[in-house]
Chain A
Amino acid sequence: MRRFIASGAIALSALAIGAVAIAAETEVHPPHKHWHFQGPFGTYDRAAAQRGFQVYKEVCSACHSLSLLAYRNLMDLGLSENAVKAIAADVQIPDLSDDGQPADRPGRPSDRFKKPFANELAAAAANGGKAPPDLSVIIKAREDGPNYVHALLTGYVPFDKLTPAQIKETGVTKDDNYNTFFPGHRIAMPPPLADDKVTYVDGTKATLDQEASDVVEFLAWASEPHLEDRNRTGVRVILFLLAMAGLMYAVKRQVWADKP
């Protein structure tokens, strides 16, 4: 019988290896970074995520929507109700006036984040034919999301630094953007971040790497806002089940000891 358990374990681990093999086969592997939200005890670094929100607001939001989030969600990042009200009120949300005419009004915390373009077609038309993707679940929508997005944001190579082989292989011109980690390397988005692109309100030095890490922290939170609750619940559930397994095993042994 032990043999069968062993073979079952082998089968399961083979399954896991198979899945790893599936996951492993992407184009260029982004370098592995450690994230605050990793692992069963991971949490979001609120300060980093708030800085990341500043980066999103001042840079990314010019082109990328975040349509699944509402301003009220920012309270989960540690912003006060009044701060959230102020952020929302700064935005003009399209609505109808009392006489049924289209009219903008100041945003409320219950409003979803305003999109930079009225619709998908307008977004595509303003961006060379392809709409910039919505960022609400971008970290989950890419393989190895946090590392990939960080690598992408920091992975631009200026045209004059490219080797002739790279130019030949990808056919980039002076007007294209070359990114080490983008599949096919030619990416429509010009380098969005740079050193001192934003001035952080908390005084953190805004290096390119810092900005990219912060915005990934923010977008990871946006993708999976209940991660902390999930981890907390998970630890409790597993502890409970382990205790239950111990008890069940003892009961099972007791019962079988009395076998007729």
Chain B
Amino acid sequence: MASSSIPAGAHGASGDPTRRDFLMVATGAMAAIGVAATAWPFINNLNPAADTLALSSIELNIAPIKVGQAITVKWRGKPVFIRHRTEKEIKEAEAVKMSELPDPQTDNARVTDTAKKVRPEWLIIVGVCTHLGCVPLGQNPGDPKGEYDGWFCPCHGSQYDSSGRIRKGPAPKNLAVPDYLFTTDTIVKIG
């Protein structure tokens, strides 16, 4: 067989077959370690660079966003929706029964920051439809918001409620909530 590296009769005159086998195995193992260790930098090279990582979190002043208003900011190359929800929107979102949801999640869980602080007036979600990655409509005053007072995806008609949860259409999951932290009352750090 081609892969047998020692020719027949190799355990010949000069010596101890065990020593020789040990040498072969040790060298082979060392070579394998060397190749693996060499491969790592080549793979690691394609990971995000330090300058990219330095931009992986953004800080935002949310003071200018009035009640009922929504803004879109770019974060890690994707749109993030920040909505200052009205009392009505909050009530609607909290009233929904879990059994009605394809991806059950309480509204409360979706408005909690990484320090466990709950601020239901601020909804912060990644504006990428969980179906096939389109950006849903509903940010601008004139946009269609779907039947649930939230967002409507123009690509395949997925509809999200005022908590960004999927209610109708082909999307399987709720709009994702990024990690965020209110560093002060008016500054939020996303990422």
Physical contact A–B (CB less than 8 Å)? yes
| Complex CA–CA separation, A209 to B176 (angstroms) | 57
Q: Is B27 located at the chain interface by the 8 A CB criterion?
A: yes
Bound Cα distance from A243 to B30, whole angstroms: 9
Which of A72, A109, A244, A258 has the most chain B CB within a 10 Å cutoff? A258
Q: Which of A221-249 contact B (CB under 8 A)?
A: 240, 243-244, 247-248
B 26-43 binary contact with A (CB < 8 Å = 1; else 0): 110011011001000000
Q: Please judge, given known A-B contacts A110-B54, A110-B55, A248-B27, whether A254 and B20 are in contact too, CB under 8 Å.
A: yes
Interface string of B9-24 (1 = CB under 8 A from A): 1101111000110011
CB-CB under 8 A from A247, the residues of chain B are 23, 26-27, 30
A255 to B51, CA, bound (A): 51
Docked complex Cα distance between A33 and B13 (Å): 60
Contact residues on A (Cβ < 8 Å of other chain), bracket: 10 to 19
Q: How far, in Å, is A68 (CB) from chain B's closest CB?
A: 11
A72 touches B14 (CB 8 A): no
Cβ-defined contact, B13 with A258, below 8 A: yes
A21 at the interface (CB under 8 A from B): no
Q: Is the interface of B mostly helix, strand, loop or mixed?
A: helix
Chain B interface size range:
20 to 34
Query: Which residues on the A side are within 8 Å of B50 (C-beta)?
Result: 72
- A interface: dominant SS: helix
| CB pair A258 B34 closer than 8 Å | no
CA distance A240 to B27 in the complex (A): 12
Give the shortest distance, in Å, between A249 (CB) and chain B (any CB). Answer: 10
Q: A70-B51, A247-B26 are in contact. Are A240 and B15 (CB under 8 A)?
A: no
- A121 beta carbon closer than 8 Å to chain B: no
A257 within 8 A of B: yes
CB distance from B139 to the nearest CB of A (A): 16
Neighbouring A residues of B30 by C-beta, 8 Å: 240, 243-244, 247
Please report which residues of chain B, range 34-90, place their CB below 8 angstroms from some CB of chain A when the two chains form the complex: 34, 37, 50-51, 54-55
Known: A72-B54, A258-B10, A258-B14. A250 touches B23 (CB 8 A): yes
List chain B residues, Cβ under 8 A from A251: 23-24, 27
Task: Give the residue name and chain of the B residue nearest to A109 (CB).
Answer: B54
Q: B33 to chain A: closest CB distance in Å? A: 8
Q: Apart from A240-B37, A247-B23, what 13 extra A-B contacts exist at CB < 8 Å?
A: A110-B54, A110-B55, A240-B30, A240-B33, A240-B34, A244-B30, A244-B31, A244-B34, A247-B30, A254-B23, A257-B14, A257-B15, A258-B9
Query: Which B residues are within 8 Å of any A CB, using their own CB?
Result: 9-10, 12-15, 19-20, 23-24, 26-27, 30-31, 33-34, 37, 50-51, 54-55
Closest 7 pairs (CB-CB, A-B) = A257-B14, A110-B54, A247-B27, A258-B12, A251-B27, A72-B54, A254-B20
